Amino acid sequence: MHSDGYYFGTTLAKRVDYFAFPRTGSHFLWTSFTGLFDLVFFPNQFVENPEAKQRTEELNPLAVYAMKLREDGVPIQPVYINAAPQGVHGGPVLGDNPVIILIRNPHPTLYSWYHTATDRWGARIDDIRAWLKDGYRQYAEFYDRALAMQQASPERVHWIRYEQLKDSAAVLAETASFVGVRPKLSPEFVFEWTRFDRMTRSGPRSFYRVGNNAHWQNDPTWREHLRAIGPGDFSRFGYPEAV
């Protein structure tokens, strides 16, 4: 560890800042990152804590093992992705490093955030509609800042759309190209092992819940909440559908 960079042995790590709103699929994406990259970390409280370790219990151990492999002949290329340059889920800021932004449709994002908070962490939300209004406001402000960053420096900001990440290995290949390293495992291999139903253990899960963008649509009470509050227009982020 050096003041002018993060070295793995004598090799200077590639550095990238990462920003994502809560429940947009960060932990799903990071499982993919462990397959693509030789990730290195500064010691931090986000990795070595009981909550983080408990999450891994909901993952398929074969998928976790597969992501630790590497193809023959691929050199070690350390990559440091700073997942909290502004604190956990802090708003996007363009600093000295290139930036990866993860985005997901706001409706399943807020649905997942609510149920994870209440079902896993025991949060009590007395006024769901007020909570939703504030959540959608935070989402819009977060990604408006990210859009402004991209417009200012498009070559330094790489967006990953959760829906495309689940659909195609091309997203992983494009991400490795943006970071500027040869993937240690092929994007196709990583994609196959991180399909949501294959990456997670079977049975009840409270963190890796369902990974399904349509799940909220089957909840009539939730849809009534959305109709009542009028979440707003998110077409500028690529999500034009109404509720």
Q: Is the pLDDT of residue 187 over 60?
A: yes
Domains of the chain: 7-237 (3.40.50.300)
Q: How confident is the model at residue 150 (pLDDT cuts 50, 70, 90)?
A: very high
For residues 142 and 54, the model is more confident at: 142
For residues 82 and 45, the model is more confident at: 82
The per-residue pLDDT for range 79-100, each reduced to its tens digit, is: 999 988 887 778 999 999 999 9
Query: How confident is the model over 25-29, as a mean pLDDT?
Result: 88
pLDDT at 54: 67
Could you tell me which residues come within 8 angstroms of residue 123 by beta carbon, excluding any fewer than 6 positions away? Answer: 117
Contact between residue 88 and residue 46 where contact means Cβ atoms under 8 Å apart: yes
Percent of the chain past pLDDT 70, that is, above it, reads 86
